[in-house]
């Protein structure tokens, strides 16, 4: 790893997290997870494009390190920041025995980060969350600061009465 920055949140000294920057940092993910969360299950959320490029290698590394890891693939694009995809991802976590100590990893751009982060924040009152940002926007902006969320579905089924 070439560089490690520490982000301190205004809420208190104990509320801080590192940002790790460096060529080949992806291969350090298993070691980083083991150091911080040994023995916990890992849910990797990615989109179809990033999954095709890096999903298999990441899962291979995680399994080889002895981590219990599941890859959850969502469609690429802004439309995935929706309540439907959120429901699908949180259902995948719940059906695969997510625990308070499980870790959610967002492997992708800002869409995956926002959706996976919102899921991690809301399942079981919140579980640890790690971002592996794969676009420039996600690396310099959306993965830093802790803001996550989803947007509207195109055909949301409610009406004002
Ligand atoms: N939370 C925040 O603070 C914050 C800040 C800024 C933007 N955002 C959000 O970020 C989103 C936009 O993020 P984005 O620009 O990363 O878009 P994105 O996540 O949709 O990624 C853009 C496209 O690039 C592909 N992709 C991602 N990584 C790739 C890689 N390494 N190689 C090849 N293709 C790759 C994706 O599959 C997708 O098709 C918006 O939803 C925006 O609201 C959030």
Domain assignment present for residue 43? The answer is yes
Cα–Cα distance measured from residue 8 to residue 15, given in angstroms and rounded to the nearest whole number: 6
Atom 30 in ligand 1: residue holding the nearest Cα: 134
Domain assignment present for residue 10? The answer is no
Cβ-contact 5, 142 below 8 angstroms: no
Full domain range(s) for residue 39: 25-142
Atom 20 in ligand 1: residue holding the nearest Cα: 77
Domain assignment present for residue 11? The answer is no
Domain assignment present for residue 56? The answer is yes
Residue for token pair 């083991």: 34
Ligand 1 contact via 139 beta carbon (within 6 Å): no
Domain count, the chain: 1
The closest of 35, 6, 38, 37 to 20, measured between CA atoms, is: 6
Percent of the chain surpassing pLDDT 70: 94
Model's pTM, two decimal places? 0.94
* Span 24-57, pLDDT tens digits: 899 999 999 999 988 889 999 999 999 999 999 9
Cβ-contact 106, 113 below 8 angstroms: yes
CATH number of the structural domain spanning residue 93:
3.40.50.1970
Q: Across the chain, where does the E strand assignment appear?
A: 3-8, 16-21, 42-47, 69-74, 103-108, 129-133
Q: Across 16-156, where does the E strand assignment appear?
A: 16-21, 42-47, 69-74, 103-108, 129-133
């Amino acid at each position: 790893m070439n560089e490690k920055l520490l982000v301190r949140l205004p809420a208190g000294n104990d509320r801080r997290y590192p940002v790790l920057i460096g060529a080949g940092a992806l291969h350090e993910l298993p070691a980083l997870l083991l150091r911080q969360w040994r023995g916990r299950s890992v849910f990797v959320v990615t989109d179809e494009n990033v999954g095709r490029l890096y999903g298999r290698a990441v899962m291979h590394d995680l399994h080889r390190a002895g981590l219990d890891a599941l890859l959850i693939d969502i469609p690429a694009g802004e439309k995935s920041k929706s309540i439907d995809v959120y429901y699908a991802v949180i259902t995948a976590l719940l059906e695969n025995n997510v625990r308070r100590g499980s870790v959610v990893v967002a492997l992708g751009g800002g869409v995956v980060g926002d959706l996976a982060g919102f899921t991690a924040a809301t399942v079981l009152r919140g579980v640890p969350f790690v971002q592996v940002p794969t676009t420039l926007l996600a690396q310099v902006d959306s993965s830093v600061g802790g803001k996550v969320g989803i947007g509207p579905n195109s055909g949301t089924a409610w009406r004002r009465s």
